[in-house]
């Protein structure tokens, strides 16, 4: 939560400063998701048998690790108002490339490097089509979703590459000695620091938010819109490829259909974490909390013997509620302030003799 | 605005907590699988909580096999449960295996979506004392204690030759409608069928092997072509579920209905109407209910320490009788099961 203060890098209007700093820092969407995560965790510890065991955290983090990785660049892409639907296919493609390179006799580090380069190239193709060809990212990445998956399945067919050396697969499944935290979280921590700095601490990140607010305005204020988006898509492909290597080593199986549908999990978490699908708004700590919230819910419900369909219904409802709730509460708030303003005006009309000070500040503080 | 965010967060937390509390309640309704069930005829301290983990839920085939498992577990007084992913993706079973390991179940009966991807999770479960039985679809042998094999290639070839020979009276021309030209299983069965035909049925002539590519329309067209090319054709064998139902659909509306026999491997739900209208006399597959039943008894025998999964171990499986573990920790269910007008009503998969 150290980056909570950094969210002030997001553009804010006058009304954001009408409340004291502590309220602005605390009562945010991100903190709400974090509070929900803590609530779910605490309730599960007390009501779900076996949930309190430390191994739960190990399994949970191993399960969501790939989503956590990809959510970092995805957050930035969605903040610019674009989307990358091809990430899961890049995971599959890099998994297959990594597997075939290993099978061809390349040493593992080299095979990993090749897979990551392939991911970066895949991201570059997306970025090139979006920024140079000026095509909408939704259309482009639906196309490359099919294209990259087709390449992945075409390269390996229905076979799988298995038998990766234990030293490497252990890296993907082992825990940090003395803790239930998987070792792969060290890599994730490092990546998080880079992305938090990039989004919330650098001028590049301010450009990302500016593009999301208005790409025209961003362009006129000197942000290189195309270059920024291109970099983001390349980052997305690269990180997705890294997730693909992790995925392959964790399950010990390089297959073309690995991680099918993972993109929906990533995008769901990013939106639940408070990133606006229209761009311009969001923060990484909210997204990370949202990934963990979905993972914790699924893990607790599985331990409580709830079937996968019900788990999907609950996560789906949570997502819809989280997307709908800002508009709903805004509507309630507006309704409430309007009726309160009306009442205040009515009261003022009835009691002319009352000093004006109390009536004046009620409408002005809420009407914007 | 920000006071509302607080409320929104609270609402989300309440929804999530409510879901969990409800889920928590539901566990108390179902017998908690982490507790040792009150086995009345098992070893007193044996944990006979056995969970079935099919490739995916909502699949009629696995509904049948898991119901067989439930029947067996009820017989020996264990605790039955079924969990599984909504989609049969390679890695989807891993988190369920992990969950079962945490819950400390006695045994897992699983049909593997991927022979390798679930290996690590299964071995972790076994390290924690969980017995692992695969059925229908195996993992690598080192990741499980036993595999319940539904049928051998020899058994499938033999039953198909027996059925067609009986249906055409032991002589005449037959043809085979297979899947794709390079389908490994089908090609192995066809080779064995040719050997059995040559050895046991010299009066039956195999005139052609055609390939419907496991596509309904292609198989339908190939059937039509076969009947035109060979006017004396007495029977068609289709060792693929897609092929046999397409061939039966063609025959059921053609004038050759009743003249040309059709048999092979099919599922009761696909073939029901053709058996009822007399197009098809009998076809074969294994009985998934028996498969699940045997898997449950195998898990029980492993949990109670009666067997270890070594070759030559024997155990008893209720109504199915006694079984012996074969090479590679494999138990064979038996001969394929023949479905006909008399028994097809008992099956729904």
Report the CATH number that the domain containing residue A61 is assigned in CATH: 1.10.3470
Element (H, E) at B237: strand B233-238
For residues B229 and B107, membership in a common domain is answered with no
What residues make up the domain containing A137?
A: 5-306
What confidence tens digit (pLDDT) does each residue in A87-140 have?
A: 999 999 999 999 999 999 999 999 999 999 999 999 999 999 999 999 999 999
Report the CATH number that the domain containing residue B98 is assigned in CATH: 3.40.50.2300
Mutate to test the interface with B, among A296, A308, A320, A366 (most CBs of B within 10 A): A308
Interface of B with A in 80-99 (CB under 8 A): 81, 83-87, 89-91, 94-96, 98-99
For residues A272 and A331, membership in a common domain is answered with no
**Would you call B90 and A251 a contact, using CB atoms and an 8 Å cutoff?**
yes
For residues A125 and A174, membership in a common domain is answered with yes
Q: How far, in Å, CA of B326 to CA of A59, rounded? A: 35
Residue from the list A27, A160, A318 with its beta carbon closest to the beta carbon of B6: A27
- Split into its structural domains, chain A has a count of 2
Question: Interhelix angle for A262-272 vs A284-303, to 10°?
Answer: 120
For residues A295 and A350, membership in a common domain is answered with no
Contacts of B4 in chain A (CB under 8 A): 329-330, 332-333
Contacts of A19 in chain B (CB under 8 A): 2
Confidence bin at A27 (pLDDT 50/70/90): confident
CB pairs under 8 A between A and B: 170
For residues B114 and B174, membership in a common domain is answered with no
What is the per-residue pLDDT for A292?
97
For residues A40 and A99, membership in a common domain is answered with yes
What confidence tens digit (pLDDT) does each residue in B5-44 have?
A: 555 555 555 555 555 554 444 433 333 333 444 434 444 5
Weakest-pLDDT range from A289-293, B45-49, B215-219, B247-251 = B45-49
Q: Give the 3-state secondary structure percentages of chain A, helix then strand then coil, rounded to 5.
A: 75, 0, 25
Is residue B224 scored above 50 in pLDDT? yes
SS3 B265: strand
- Split into its structural domains, chain B has a count of 2
- State the smallest CA–CA distance between residue B297 and chain A in angstroms: 23
- State the smallest CA–CA distance between residue A129 and chain B in angstroms: 31
For residues A199 and A341, membership in a common domain is answered with no
Q: How far, in Å, CA of B37 to CA of B80, rounded? A: 10
Q: How far, in Å, CA of A29 to CA of A326, rounded? A: 9
For residues B223 and B265, membership in a common domain is answered with yes
Residue from the list A303, A307, A322 with its beta carbon closest to the beta carbon of B12: A322
- Please give the full DSSP string across B109-176, using - where no structure is assigned: EE--SSTTTTHHHHHHHHHTT-EEEEESS---GGG-SEEEE---HHHHHHHHHHHHHHHTTT-EEEEE
Contacts of A321 in chain B (CB under 8 A): 11-12, 15
Last residue of a domain, one of A286, A306, A326: A306
Q: Does A314 touch chain B (CB under 8 A)?
A: yes
Give ipTM to 2 decimals: 0.78
- State the smallest CA–CA distance between residue A328 and chain B in angstroms: 10
Residues near B170 by beta carbon (within 8 Å), at least 6 away in sequence? B201, B203, B204
Q: How far, in Å, CA of B177 to CA of B214, rounded? A: 10
Q: How far, in Å, CA of B1 to CA of A329, rounded? A: 8
For residues A182 and A59, membership in a common domain is answered with yes
Mean pLDDT of chain B: 87
For residues B77 and B129, membership in a common domain is answered with yes
Name the residue among B62, B14, B32 with its Cα closest to residue B291: B62
Question: Interhelix angle for B288-303 vs B60-76, to 10°?
Answer: 40
For residues B157 and B280, membership in a common domain is answered with yes
Q: What is the pTM of this model?
A: 0.79
SS3 A182: strand
Last residue of a domain, one of A264, A283, A306: A306
Residue with tokens 């409408």: A363
Q: Is A262 exposed, middle or buried (0-12, 13-18, 19+ CB in 10 A)?
A: buried
What residues make up the domain containing B279?
A: 153-285
User: Chain A residue closest to B16 (CA)?
Assistant: A40
Contacts of B27 in chain A (CB under 8 A): 48-49, 304-305
For residues A175 and A319, membership in a common domain is answered with no
Is residue B62 scored above 50 in pLDDT? yes
Confidence bin at A18 (pLDDT 50/70/90): low
- State the smallest CA–CA distance between residue B74 and chain A in angstroms: 19
Does the residue B342 lie in any domain? Answer: no
What confidence tens digit (pLDDT) does each residue in B282-334 have?
A: 999 999 999 999 999 999 999 999 999 999 999 999 999 999 999 999 999 99
What is the per-residue pLDDT for B24?
45
Element (H, E) at B337: strand B337-340
């Amino acid at each position: 939560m150290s980056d909570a203060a950094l969210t002030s890098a997001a553009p804010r209007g006058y009304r954001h400063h009408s409340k004291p700093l502590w309220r602005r820092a605390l009562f945010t969407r991100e903190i709400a998701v974090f509070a929900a995560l803590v609530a779910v965790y605490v309730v599960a510890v007390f009501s779900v048998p076996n949930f309190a065991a430390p191994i739960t955290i190990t399994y949970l983090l191993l399960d969501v690790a790939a989503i956590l990785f990809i959510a970092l660049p995805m957050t930035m892409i969605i903040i610019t108002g674009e989307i990358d639907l091809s990430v899961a296919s890049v995971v599959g493609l890099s998994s297959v490339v990594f597997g075939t390179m290993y099978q061809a006799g390349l040493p593992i580090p080299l095979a990993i490097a090749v897979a990551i380069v392939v991911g970066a190239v895949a991201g570059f193709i997306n970025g090139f089509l979006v920024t140079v060809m000026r095509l909408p990212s939704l259309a482009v990445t639906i196309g490359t979703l099919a294209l990259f998956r087709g390449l992945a399945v075409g390269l390996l067919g229905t076979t799988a590459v298995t038998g990766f050396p234990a030293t490497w697969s252990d890296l993907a499944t082992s825990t940090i000695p003395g803790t239930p935290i998987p070792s792969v979280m060290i890599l994730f921590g490092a990546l998080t620091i880079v992305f938090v700095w990039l989004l919330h601490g650098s001028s590049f990140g301010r450009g990302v938010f500016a593009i999301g607010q208005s790409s025209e305005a961003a362009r006129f204020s000197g942000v290189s819109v195309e270059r920024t988006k291109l970099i983001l898509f390349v980052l997305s492909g690269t990180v997705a490829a890294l997730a693909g290597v992790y995925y392959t080593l964790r399950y010990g199986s390089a297959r073309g259909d690995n991680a099918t549908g993972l993109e929906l999990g990533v995008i769901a978490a990013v939106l639940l974490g408070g990133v606006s699908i229209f761009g311009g708004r969001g923060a990484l700590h909210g997204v990370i909390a949202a990934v963990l919230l979905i993972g914790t819910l699924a893990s607790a419900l599985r331990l409580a013997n709830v079937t996968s369909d019900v788990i999907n219904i609950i996560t789906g409802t949570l997502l819809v509620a989280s997307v709908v709730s800002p508009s709903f509460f805004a509507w309630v708030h507006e309704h409430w302030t309007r009726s309160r303003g009306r009442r205040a005006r009515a009261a003022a009309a009835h009691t002319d003799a009352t000093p004006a000070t109390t009536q004046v500040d009620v409408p002005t503080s809420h009407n914007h | 605005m920000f006071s509302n965010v607080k409320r929104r967060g609270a609402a989300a937390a309440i929804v999530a907590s409510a879901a969990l509390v409800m889920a928590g309640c539901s566990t108390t309704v179902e017998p908690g699988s982490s507790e040792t069930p009150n086995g009345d005829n098992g070893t007193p301290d044996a944990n006979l909580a056995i969970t079935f983990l099919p490739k995916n839920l909502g699949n009629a085939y696995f509904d049948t096999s898991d119901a067989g498992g439930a029947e067996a577990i009820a017989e020996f007084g264990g605790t039955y449960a079924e969990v599984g992913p909504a989609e049969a993706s390679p890695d989807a079973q891993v988190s369920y295996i992990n969950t079962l390991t945490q819950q400390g179940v006695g045994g897992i009966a699983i049909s593997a979506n991927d022979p390798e991807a679930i290996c690590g999770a299964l071995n972790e479960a076994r390290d924690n004392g969980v017995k692992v039985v695969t059925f229908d679809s195996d993992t690598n042998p080192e990741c499980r204690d036993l595999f319940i094999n539904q049928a051998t290639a020899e058994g499938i070839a033999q039953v198909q030759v027996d059925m067609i020979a009986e249906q055409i009276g032991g002589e005449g021309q037959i043809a085979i409608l297979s899947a794709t030209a390079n389908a490994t299983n089908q090609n192995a069965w066809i080779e064995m069928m040719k050997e059995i035909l040559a050895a046991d049925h010299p009066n039956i002539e195999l005139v052609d092997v055609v390939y419907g590519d496991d596509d309904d329309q292609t198989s339908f067209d190939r059937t039509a072509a076969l009947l035109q090319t060979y006017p004396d054709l007495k029977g068609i064998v289709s060792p693929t579920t897609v092929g046999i139902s397409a061939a039966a659909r063609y025959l059921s509306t053609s004038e050759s209905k009743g003249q040309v026999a059709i048999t092979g491997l099919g599922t009761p739900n696909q073939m029901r109407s053709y058996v009822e209208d007399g197009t098809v006399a009998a076809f074969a597959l294994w009985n998934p209910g028996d498969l699940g039943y045997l898997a449950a008894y195998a898990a029980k025998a492993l949990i109670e320490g009666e067997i270890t999964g070594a070759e030559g171990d024997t155990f008893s499986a209720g109504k199915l009788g006694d079984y012996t573990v074969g090479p590679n920790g494999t138990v064979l269910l038996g001969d394929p099961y023949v479905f006909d007008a008399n028994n097809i009503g008992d099956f729904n998969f």
